[in-house]
Structure 1
């Protein structure tokens, strides 16, 4: 008769993993069944590959809709990883048992659930569909729901509270992971305890979580029955502790009952592979429902429990790592302090009745001794040690989509290994290797694979430098799979995506921005596709503001395309045509604007002016004539007319006397106060040099403000505050000082001559810098 031993574990528990290893060594089963979708069977043998380095995750997804996916993470301290590796190393058979993912995904898409004895027909909750919102592996009853998952009784928490613990994880460590009794007996005792909790569960049979759990356990039992019929001598089942009582053969319901639960379930086509995972995504804080609070600590704990030197002091080695990390942050952490912290951790464990120091005791001791009682230094090393920065790797033989294979090959060619640690990378685009990295990041960004996020480059004004914030997140594997429908290489996929988006996007500014992105991503085919669509759309566009907003992206493409060696002849033709059409329609388009439309038009004019300044050989006569027509009309909204006047003044096409005359006319009593304030804002906003260096303009503004009646002043004050608040503090101070001197009025105790006594210290300091002799 076949022996069946059910090992109920806590997912990602180092103690559970240690106990599983001990139990398997004692039982020597010829078949190991591990909780997980049966589709994983086709990739489980890859876990024996030396290049498979945890943490990794099984990725199961729907090829036609890659966003419909689930991850099944494993670390080296995960009991499932230990069980599978043990089986592969000893020649025992190993399989996954759970509800097939083909059914799970089909149910998520809204398939009907057939009726059964336990519950009426109904659908799974719709909010369970997004893969990134749910726990990435079925939890074991030791975790309550996270995100949008349905509620499940916290069985481990119930046991912890019954034992007088407020922290379920601490109870598990003390009662299970730190015990040294026979491992098989520990699992049997835990199964009995969970069975009592399940017996007290009074949720109705039609509860969504009960329905899901019934289907999963019925599928597990069906696969276990099939294994029993194969005639194995001894079978070990490694599953979440919550499921353990349901998988004891002596307590099985009739096979017909399980078959009825599973009858008629919908199916969908799925694909499966392995992808790298990170320690950070194993953390409960990441939103992972089956996560643990301290993956880095668990890795340390497991390494010493399962290492070649099990006698190593776990507490001492951990505190040595803490001290090393603190020194890395330029903080003092002496060897003597480590010894003292170790003693304190042992004392705290004894006082608290714990069999050995846990992470809480070690953190308390480190804070008290190594950090002088401050929590801040310890927080600096929390991410590096307690959570961990590990990023796993998978062998090249793992199934993958062609796009992912091309991305991996490109990363190897560029000698650029992804990392789970966030870092800021500065790229010098004058160097071919770094330019190639920039191109790859821009292509991935177009495809929605946000490995890199653009960052500020500092005060550099050149175009040869880029900065990116890099961090590889496991869910990017889904984005790569999804982008695979556009092509088999990163370049081809990005070009195809750009062409599709260009056909669907009717916004000229958006298309122009897409064109600029194609330039940065070095996509000649994408540029051709966007240029073709953009030429058609600009020819049909009648509104002037969208045409003006298109000028700047087109101009950037023309200027920097030549720098990058890209043919921009077609783009230049569109730019020339767009500028001409915008100039012809600008005066008419600016007539009859209300305040909101005037703000839109003013911003569009500024965008166009910036773009035109980027192309030195672009003829600007038509543009300046259009601005002159706008600036000279009293019928155009003041914000637009004032801005046109300022741009002409900056171009040297209008004299300061003309600006002063227009300002005097616009600020006359006959002009409503709000219209006058709008014109003034258009002229001076963004740069205070006009008011600072032309006293006549400042006098006109001062006289206009002083002469406004109370009602008008209340209306224009918010507009004036908005205009002047954009100036820098030194500019506002200089304007204020000049206002005090208007008309010869000088504040008491001041004159127009410099205060040499007050300037003395500065003069003497500069003299010393210049090497001059200073006379006191």
Structure 2
């Protein structure tokens, strides 16, 4: 079978998607054929935006994006790079003023079918042929077996014959048959024109079924495409990245080394030498010594390897092996840098200003330029000083985008501290963020209005704990209208809320807003009023909420109590602190409170100076007496000791009480309590645990906490030494 049917106008150019060898072959074939119509595999919806490929500002890699208008997350990308045959064909047609169309199943159908039917895993026929021939790189096989043996249109004649052989006896799945029927429908329409020559650029797998002499009847194709559901779609171009080219795309083809393929397509001669020079420049920038002589030696090694392997010229494996052996001294560490920077790369394409964009995306683009933020596929670390207006505006933009679920920037902060004028962010633009912007455009036409609408929607559905976090998020995003709505909802729901735990979860985030609002020059008086009311309700209901709860609920309450304590500490307001400590006193004195909560309350009261060491020691002694429940005592001890270990280090009376209880617990019960004790002491640092051990060693059980341990003549030191390693392991 021939790629050009005799006495026919159609020339089928079967290619490998994103293949530089195919791209060069297509360029040669189009120059020879000079067709009036060029048909390219892709959804027909891209016809409307195809002319933009030649517009100023269009810079591959880019992707055609077709999405469902009513559900933008339902979308398909159709990536193209400089070395993509589809891009070469598209640019040739536009540069020569020829008609160009896309042929495939329309996206308004395929986006619906994607949810309705399953298709077989996409086949890469050229990779299949390469592997059968013993090649690990399809592009190298293409060059060795096709381009170096065939010229002009003969390349595509050979590919067509090979694909025809591969398809013999193979029955494609329904989705593939529908796609090919849709391709033939577009081709039939082109044949009805007066064009004398038509070039079809498609995946090699589809080539045999697009030869007119092999067409099934038009009725058969129409039957495959009849009564298919459709949806309203829109099409545009979006920037793509070299990293995303390495993944499966709308064409069903991913490439492992887009940087290498770009080099193969753009370097007309001395491919290996030019590549190794680029590697040398990269390594030198990283302060690694690479001489010119080493580059020459690496080129010779790559050529020698290709001869040993009976290859006509070095491929990527030979180049990488020679690079590691000669330029990297055999180490694979520099090779990781080469793989990241050169084999894949961090290139981000660009699209012209006239590209169709939703208003929200245009607003982001204008804001980005105003704030001098660069859109890049490489990660960028950005430190902001909020005392500078431009940096403050950048911070507001990032927080608003997070509300819109467009995570262009992600916080790089390692702590929860909000009281500084510094923020750290990591920026990385990903193509899927274009879809996220389209989805978010349903909330508004500008970033502030859309973020305000998102906050309003979340406010209507959120509980008190979520609302308190939303207060903090809205403040950092500087959305005053939304903030007043969130606070009003929080005040109203707090008044009707009977679950004290939900109120407790709201305190710390709101306290941060009140304490650090001045960093962002925000008025937080309304936050103070709502927060005061919430703390008052908590103090009234806390004692009852802590009574008769199980162990799991007790631990959750302990965490919430710590959160309220941190929030009250941030505010440093005497009135709120007094009512809160009064509630903790009631919890500490109340019967039926789980040990982990009661112990924590006593510790907080001790730290606040409302209990002295003697009083705290008496409570600890009573809880750890032999008459008390050992599990309850262990929980009380865990709550009491949570936090800093300085209490045990500097208060020997408390340490002695703990020591006497631990040594007096029944052996079988101690095995049960050991995980609880280990969890308690595991929170301390290694230095703190060592200090506690030294203090315990000095305790004289007969003389008291301040005495010196008396010698025990009955101690069997040999037997005791057997348990020392285990004890040391527990104390680490």
Aligned partner (choices 530, 534, 537) of residue 574 of structure 1: 530
Tell which deviates more after alignment, 677-686 or 71-80.
677-686
Deviating above 6 A after TM superposition, structure 1's stretches of 4 or more consecutive aligned residues are: 285-288, 458-461
- Note if 1:343 corresponds to 2:300: yes
Output the CA distance in 1 between the equivalents of 2:193 and 2:480: 60
In the alignment, what sits opposite 2:155?
186
Deviations, residues 512-548 of structure 1 (Å, cap 9, x unaligned): 1111111111111221221122122211111111111
Deviation at 1:284, TM superposition (A): 3.8
Output the CA distance in 1 between the equivalents of 2:543 and 2:250: 56
Deviations, residues 559-616 of structure 1 (Å, cap 9, x unaligned): 2223322232322221111000000011111111221111111111111011111112
Aligned partner (choices 525, 536, 540) of residue 496 of structure 2: 540
In the alignment, what sits opposite 1:27?
33
Partners of 1:56 and 1:275 within 8 A in 2: yes
Partners of 1:276 and 1:391 within 8 A in 2: yes
Deviation at 1:169, TM superposition (A): 4.5
Deviations, residues 302-352 of structure 1 (Å, cap 9, x unaligned): 1123xxxxxx31111100011111122222211110011011111112222
In the alignment, what sits opposite 1:774?
none
3-state SS, counterpart of residue 173 of structure 2 = helix
Residues 288, 742 of structure 1: CA spacing in aligned structure 2 closer, same or farther, 3 A cutoff?
farther
Partners of 2:51 and 2:94 within 8 A in 1: yes
Output the CA distance in 2 between the equivalents of 1:710 and 1:2: 95
3-state SS, counterpart of residue 742 of structure 1 = coil
Output the CA distance in 2 between the equivalents of 1:354 and 1:725: 61
Deviation at 1:153, TM superposition (A): 4.4
Residues 747, 278 of structure 1: CA spacing in aligned structure 2 closer, same or farther, 3 A cutoff?
farther
In the alignment, what sits opposite 1:53?
59
Aligned length: 698
Deviation at 1:511, TM superposition (A): 1.5
Partners of 2:418 and 2:516 within 8 A in 1: no
Output the CA distance in 1 between the equivalents of 2:342 and 2:12: 34
Where structure 1 has 5 or more consecutive residues not aligned to the other structure, the ranges are: 111-123, 126-148, 204-208, 306-311, 749-776
In the alignment, what sits opposite 1:438?
395
In the alignment, what sits opposite 1:116?
none
1:315-326 equivalences under 5 Å are: 315-326=272-283
Deviations, residues 686-705 of structure 1 (Å, cap 9, x unaligned): 21111001010001111111
Deviations, residues 135-187 of structure 1 (Å, cap 9, x unaligned): xxxxxxxxxxxxxx6224442244224434355444234223x5263221101
Deviations, residues 700-732 of structure 1 (Å, cap 9, x unaligned): 111111121213322322111111110001100
Deviation at 1:231, TM superposition (A): 1.1
3-state SS, counterpart of residue 613 of structure 1 = helix
Residues 703, 287 of structure 1: CA spacing in aligned structure 2 closer, same or farther, 3 A cutoff?
farther
Partners of 1:277 and 1:474 within 8 A in 2: yes
Partners of 1:349 and 1:358 within 8 A in 2: yes
3-state SS, counterpart of residue 10 of structure 2 = strand
TM value normalised by structure 2:
0.92
Deviation at 1:441, TM superposition (A): 1.0
Aligned partner (choices 151, 155, 164) of residue 121 of structure 2: 151
Query: CA RMSD, aligned part only?
Result: 1.9
Output the CA distance in 1 between the equivalents of 2:609 and 2:47: 76
Aligned partner (choices 667, 671, 675) of residue 624 of structure 2: 667
Aligned partner (choices 331, 337, 345) of residue 288 of structure 2: 331
Partners of 1:515 and 1:530 within 8 A in 2: yes
In the alignment, what sits opposite 1:18?
24
Deviation at 1:453, TM superposition (A): 1.8
Deviation at 1:469, TM superposition (A): 2.1
Deviation at 1:198, TM superposition (A): 0.6
- Note if 1:291 corresponds to 2:254: yes
In the alignment, what sits opposite 2:714?
none
Residues 475, 459 of structure 1: CA spacing in aligned structure 2 closer, same or farther, 3 A cutoff?
closer
In the alignment, what sits opposite 1:658?
615
Partners of 1:66 and 1:481 within 8 A in 2: yes
Deviation at 1:425, TM superposition (A): 2.1
1:437-456 equivalences under 5 Å are: 437-456=394-413
Output the CA distance in 2 between the equivalents of 1:152 and 1:546: 51
Output the CA distance in 1 between the equivalents of 2:248 and 2:178: 29
Output the CA distance in 2 between the equivalents of 1:24 and 1:402: 39
Output the CA distance in 2 between the equivalents of 1:355 and 1:52: 37
Deviation at 1:288, TM superposition (A): 8.6
Deviation at 1:456, TM superposition (A): 2.8
Aligned partner (choices 569, 576, 599) of residue 613 of structure 1: 569
Partners of 2:298 and 2:322 within 8 A in 1: yes
- Note if 1:558 corresponds to 2:514: yes
In the alignment, what sits opposite 2:605?
648
Output the CA distance in 2 between the equivalents of 1:79 and 1:440: 39
Aligned partner (choices 353, 363, 378) of residue 310 of structure 2: 353
Partners of 2:14 and 2:156 within 8 A in 1: yes
Residues 257, 459 of structure 1: CA spacing in aligned structure 2 closer, same or farther, 3 A cutoff?
closer
- Note if 1:426 corresponds to 2:386: no
In the alignment, what sits opposite 1:369?
326
Aligned partner (choices 484, 493, 496) of residue 528 of structure 1: 484
